[in-house]
Chain A
Amino acid sequence: MIALRNLRKSYETAEGRLEVLRGVNLDLGAGDRVALMGESGSGKSTLLHLVAGLDRTDSGEITIGGRDISKLNDRERAAYRRTKVGLVFQQFNLVPSLDVAANIAFHAKLAGRHDREWENELVERLGIGTLLTRYPEQLSIGQQQRVAIGRTLAARPGLVLADEPTGNLDEANGDAVLELMLSLSKGSGSTLLLVTHSQRLADRLDRQVHLRFGKIE
């Protein structure tokens, strides 16, 4: 379903050109749940951003559902993010001006897949039914991440990309949130690519890939 071929990405930094990805090759099947691991600065997040269509590759192909998204323009990439991808980051996932209910419905509505029943079920299973009228800044970080997962899954994306979604949480909380995410994504049949540096979390997924010096080991 997802095929990455010879992906390269570098950034200009104060110390000169930094090559982050140096020819990444990776295949993910539909419904695969893969942990992306690696040292700090190994390029995990960059890879995730490229797959999410948030940033452009320098060279290489990202074929998703038979389409090379690295060739897409801004507008097409935005449509891609809207309809095909769900994103969960470590922080600032939510739209600060919308309350929890509106945040959960936000992506689904943008994607044209607004389904109130499904949202209600998600809210129930995430245990955030009492928070619906609150605003993000009134939530704890754990609560924010639950809402973020709800927001992502409510849109039923084919591909869920998560970048250390529990990185700011303590272990118990993190485990609970991840558990929810795994069980919910399983139910929706989405492909999941999870960036983490926790072996314990990675172990719970179907597969693990390691990124080292800009390449998959």
Chain B
Amino acid sequence: MKMWTAATALLSHWRRRPLQLGALLSGLALATALWCGVQAINAEARASYTRAAVVLDQNGLANLVSPNGSSIPQSAFVRLRRAGWNVSPVLEGDYRFGVIRLRVIGIEPLTMPAETNTVDLGNAGDLLSFITPPGMLFVSPRTAEKMRGQTDLALRVSDRMLDGAAFIDIGLAQKLLRREGELSRIVIAENQRSGLEPLEKLVPTLSVREPNAETDVEHLTESFHLNLTAFGFLAFAVGLFIVYATIGLAFEQRRPTFRTLRCLGVSLSALAVLLLAELVLFALAAGAVGVAIGYLVASLLLPGVAATLEGLYGASVPGTLSLRPEWWVSGFAIAVAGTLVSSAQSLLRLRRVPLLAAAQPQTWGRSWQAGRRFQVLAAAALLALSGALLLWAEGLEAGFGVLGCLLLGASLLLPTVLSGFFTVMQRASSRALVTWFWADARQQLPGLSLALMALLLALAANVGVGTMVSSFRLTFVGWLDQRLAAELYVAARNEGEADRLRTWLATKVESVLPILSVDAEIRGQPMQIFGVADDPTYRMHWPLIVGMPDVWDQVASSQGVLVNEQFWRRDRLRIGDQLDLPGDWKPAVVGVYSDYGNPKGQVIAGINALTSRYPQVSRLRYGLRIQPDQVADLRSRLTDEFGLPADNVVDQAALKEQSRRIFDRTFLVTGALNIFTLGVAALAMFSSLLTLSEMRLPQLAPVWATGVTRRDLALLEVLRALVLWLATFIAALPLGLALAWVLLAVVNVEAFGWRLPMYFFPYEWLRLGLVALGAAVVSVFIPLRRLARVTPSELLKVFANER
């Protein structure tokens, strides 16, 4: 009963300050929402990787693989079977059916363990059609839709299949991929009889990949998800600033209540329990709202993310979200944990509430100077650590470490920098009101510094990521222009058609550039080797980063090859290094080209060098050089006269447009998260100003009494808030650019394998500045409107004797 009374007394505070409660709850809910949304997206993607791994890679079972990633001879499989091992062979690779590129997974249905749930060959007829030529493809409904008209092979649709992949018979796979007698891996069934000869004796060159090991897709996309998580965390941290500030204020304002309750016999521990219960209750309520918003945010963003993952990594993720406990539980958990962390300081202070001290709220700035010295030291340490990481650490985590330390250090430094700035401005002014304006701005820093730090983080993230994305886009578009030099791209459906096509085209275009590629294992990594004709198109357009002066002659004469930037950086290759390619082929690296959007390594060789080693290489795709004004005509003749399906003829413009669309979708999520983060920061500013406006009267009343109208005071207040915004925005620019530099030069290189030049986009900053200004005006408006409407008697109460 006593507890209940005490609780009522404590809670009454919020009834009198609904806006404060609103700020606390919405700050917490928004922070949770962003965190949760990002987690939901990650969870969905990971779940689909796992599904893909289990279904496509038989990842639930152990697999025998070649440690260096090269092919396994089929004889190893036979040797194992004949030694009594229950194993099944798999050969996988990418294969192009007309314009559709599929990951084909060749399996052997008779030996494939039933628990892998690969293909459901429910009746004998299916099994026979599957294993006997010409064969059958098991694909998802969506893939089947896309495949229409691209292949003569029979399609079987299975809902269990993932998009972009097909199960086929191992024999067909070896034939399509031109890898007769080769396997990618060998699945080991769970059931094995006893007394078997150990694997390391039977196949000493192979190693066992344990069930549920990390897959390639997981590895490739790791950086992307780390990116998202980092953003989610940033948003959450910004949100916590609000929570911290609001809880701190609410505790300060309730000191008299605490004291009264203590005097009435409520023990310190009982009070602590009550406050803790209150906080947890708030955290759960806000967490629930946050999870709901997070779900909404995630389901809005997921299609974009799915498109990105497919475009960048070829990973198939469904565009719809399911409610997975791993993220909504984590949403609640982080809401509660965040609340407790940000209220820890206030709860600890509770112990120091003296029973008899004046019931007046302490002035905030008192201990601020001392705290600031510590902040500056911490900031210096963080910035130094950031620099040290930049210089000496490696890897994506280190890259994010650099970012984290830089952002946190800079934001800790912000109040000191602003304070110094205001001092200088104050000294430089002679007019009384102007002096007061700056002095008062400086005096408000303790109360606003958290909100300003949050704002700095949000703005810097916006500038940084915006600069990174725009630099990337500019580079990417320029690169596309170079790379997609041919006016028209065509794909034949089979070799016979390709032969006819070459003959047919001979008299109609300026040049026909074959696009030949084979899959190969190079230095233990799956890569593609492209063959290019010796054509001026490449000499003039192909985007090289570095290269020997006679690079194209070297390629044409089969002495040298080009490698893409990813491969070059990852393997630290140098010009002149010898590459060890399959088939005892040891050309020199003579140049490096940029290859954005491709997660894998790539090699470009002369067409003769390639075809002499891979005589069976598929010759289905061609780039055509013609006069731009003839494109439309040739295009229609290709479909009408020659009879290619319309989908198999793509013009340069469409291809560029498609690439650009994929690119833009890729960074949609980032942009959205940026906006959300800015929104949270605006909310932080709003709640801080709201808080301050309640404490402003004693500071404004003397000035008013000395002869400044209330209207002028309110205007000055607005102006001051905007100056704080502006100062923070200006501080955010260099920080954002530093952020962009780290993203472009460190994180991107680690995550994607390419380094991009940095460009500046002042118009974007202006736009961001205007958006921020808009948010500032909104966040300032409500608190200051109250101030402008204050009555003289309210102001006079400040001086009143009874106070």
- A residues contacting B by CB (< 8 A) are 11, 45, 49, 52, 54-56, 74-75, 78-83, 85, 87, 89-98, 102, 105-107, 109-111, 137, 163-164, 167
0/1 string, B786-801, CB within 8 A of A gives 1? 0000001101101111
A102 contacts B708, C-beta separation under 8 Å: no
Nearest B residue to A90 via CB reads B801
Q: How far apart sit A97 and B435, CA to CA, in the bound complex (Å)?
A: 10
B796 contacts A49, C-beta separation under 8 Å: yes
Q: Which residues of A contact B433 (CB under 8 A)?
A: 110
Number of residues in B with C-beta < 8 Å to the partner?
Answer: 34
Q: Which residues of B contact A75 (CB under 8 A)?
A: 709, 711
Nearest B residue to A167 via CB reads B801
Nearest B residue to A52 via CB reads B705
Q: Give 26 A-B contacts (CB < 8 Å), ordered by A residue.
A: A11-B793, A54-B705, A54-B796, A55-B792, A74-B711, A75-B711, A78-B704, A78-B707, A78-B712, A79-B707, A81-B707, A87-B705, A89-B705, A89-B799, A95-B436, A95-B702, A95-B703, A97-B436, A97-B440, A97-B699, A98-B435, A102-B436, A105-B432, A109-B431, A163-B799, A167-B801
Q: How far apart sit A79 and B304, CA to CA, in the bound complex (Å)?
A: 61
B800 contacts A45, C-beta separation under 8 Å: yes
How many A-B residue pairs have C-beta atoms within 8 angstroms? Tell me.
Answer: 93
Q: Smallest distance from the beta carbon of B157 to chain A beta carbons, Å?
A: 74
A92 contacts B701, C-beta separation under 8 Å: yes
Q: Which of B407-456 contact A (CB under 8 A)?
A: 431-433, 435-436, 439-440, 442-443
Which 3 pairs of residues, A with B, have the shortest CB-CB distance? A82-B707, A109-B432, A81-B707
A91's partner among B442, B792, B799 (CB-CB below 8 A) is B799
A98 contacts B708, C-beta separation under 8 Å: no
Q: Smallest distance from the beta carbon of B57 to chain A beta carbons, Å?
A: 66
B432 contacts A92, C-beta separation under 8 Å: no
Asked if A87 meets B706 with Cβ closer than 8 Å, knowing A45-B801, A55-B796, A106-B432, the reply is yes
Asked if A92 meets B709 with Cβ closer than 8 Å, knowing A97-B436, A97-B439, A97-B440, the reply is no
B706 contacts A92, C-beta separation under 8 Å: no
- B residues contacting A by CB (< 8 A) are 363, 366, 431-433, 435-436, 439-440, 442-443, 698-699, 701-712, 792-793, 795-796, 798-801, 803
A102 contacts B439, C-beta separation under 8 Å: yes
Q: Which residues of B contact A74 (CB under 8 A)?
A: 709-711
Q: How far apart sit A132 and B661, CA to CA, in the bound complex (Å)?
A: 65
Nearest A residue to B802 via CB reads A40
A110 contacts B707, C-beta separation under 8 Å: yes
Q: Which of A11, A54, A97, A164 has most B Cβ within 10 Å? A: A97
B699's partner among A78, A89, A96, A107 (CB-CB below 8 A) is A96
Q: Which residues of B contact A95 (CB under 8 A)?
A: 436, 439-440, 699, 702-703
Q: How far apart sit A123 and B635, CA to CA, in the bound complex (Å)?
A: 93
A98 contacts B801, C-beta separation under 8 Å: no
Q: Which of A54, A85, A137, A167 has most B Cβ within 10 Å? A: A54
Asked if A98 meets B800 with Cβ closer than 8 Å, knowing A74-B709, A78-B707, the reply is no
B707 contacts A92, C-beta separation under 8 Å: no
B803 contacts A110, C-beta separation under 8 Å: no
A97's partner among B442, B793, B801 (CB-CB below 8 A) is B442
Q: Smallest distance from the beta carbon of B444 to chain A beta carbons, Å?
A: 8
Q: Smallest distance from the beta carbon of A144 to chain B beta carbons, Å?
A: 11
Nearest A residue to B707 via CB reads A82
B706's partner among A56, A96, A97, A110 (CB-CB below 8 A) is A110
